[in-house]
Structure 1
Amino acid sequence: MSTAKKASSYIPKNPDYIECNIEKTLDVLGGKWAFLVIRELFGGTLRFGELQRRIPSVSPRALTSTLRHLEENGVLEREVFPTVPVTVEYTLTPKGQDLHVICHEMKLWAARWT
């Protein structure tokens, strides 16, 4: 039996509950850049330009959109400093820090299967 067949034959005990929670999680974290932004912020507070340099393939518009989405969902905090030009720093909230376990498990999965 192939791996694909095994995976497609899996039926969770309570699929509605699982799909609902997975869907909620993906609504918050499913964007293309979300996990990369979160990964960088695990190291501590960063400014927009620092995030852009650490994730060079993300456009400023996509990064702004991702940061806004993560802030709206309580994953990170945005602090604005009244400087010229304005300085903005991003920090993970406790909710965002809690994602460290998920990211670690995803890393293990990728090492095994990709």
Structure 2
Amino acid sequence: MALFDLLGRNWALGIIWQLSGGPMTFRELQDRCESVSPTVLNRRLKELRASLLIERGERGYQLTPLGLELFGMLEPFGTWSMTWAQHLQNEKPDQEKRS
């Protein structure tokens, strides 16, 4: 349950997802996560570092081997979500007709 608690916090999954592409500085992460405040981003980075999922490297924050392993399990959700979004989009016109 501790993992679900951590990943359920605002921007935790978004940070992991963004770092899956490689290291990023604080500013780069903030730009990629658009609406995240610096305070929330800093808090999540500290929590994810304390959980050994990310670390601070020479080129910025990056996933640790544990973080990469976790992302490998989460990555299929990205593919599934694209399919789900398409189904929702296709269903939308039918729902509007019924209204």
- What is the TM-score when the length of structure 2 is the normalising length? 0.74
More strand by share: 1
Unmatched tracts of structure 2, length 5 or more? 86-99
- Compute the displacement of 1:43 (Å): 1.2
Q: Aligned partners of 2:71, 2:49: CA distance in 1, in Å?
A: 17
More helix by share: 2
Q: Deviations over 1:35-56 (max 9, x none)?
A: 1111111111111001011111
Q: Which residue of 2 aligns with 1:106?
A: 77
Task: Identify the range of structure 1 (24-33 vs 103-112) with the bigger mean alpha-carbon deviation.
Answer: 103-112
From 31, 52, 60, the counterpart of 1:53: 31
Q: How many residues align?
A: 85
Supply the AA of the counterpart residue of 2:54: L
Q: Helix, strand or coil: the match of 2:62?
A: strand
Stretches of 4+ aligned residues off by more than 4 angstroms? none
Q: Helix, strand or coil: the match of 1:32?
A: coil
Supply the AA of the counterpart residue of 2:19: L
Larger radius of gyration: 1
- Compute the displacement of 1:111 (Å): 3.0
Q: Aligned partners of 2:83, 2:66: CA distance in 1, in Å?
A: 27
- What is the TM-score when the length of structure 1 is the normalising length? 0.65
Q: Aligned partners of 1:25, 1:43: CA distance in 2, in Å?
A: 22
- Compute the displacement of 1:110 (Å): 2.1
Q: Helix, strand or coil: the match of 1:45?
A: coil
Q: Which residue of 2 aligns with 1:93?
A: 64
Q: Aligned partners of 2:79, 2:60: CA distance in 1, in Å?
A: 30
Q: What is the identity percentage for the equivalent residue pairs of Structure 1 and Structure 2?
A: 36
Matches within 5 A, 1:65-76: 65-76=43-54
- Compute the displacement of 1:77 (Å): 0.6
Q: Which residue of 2 aligns with 1:35?
A: 13
- Compute the displacement of 1:101 (Å): 2.3
RMSD of Structure 2 on Structure 1 (CA)? 1.9
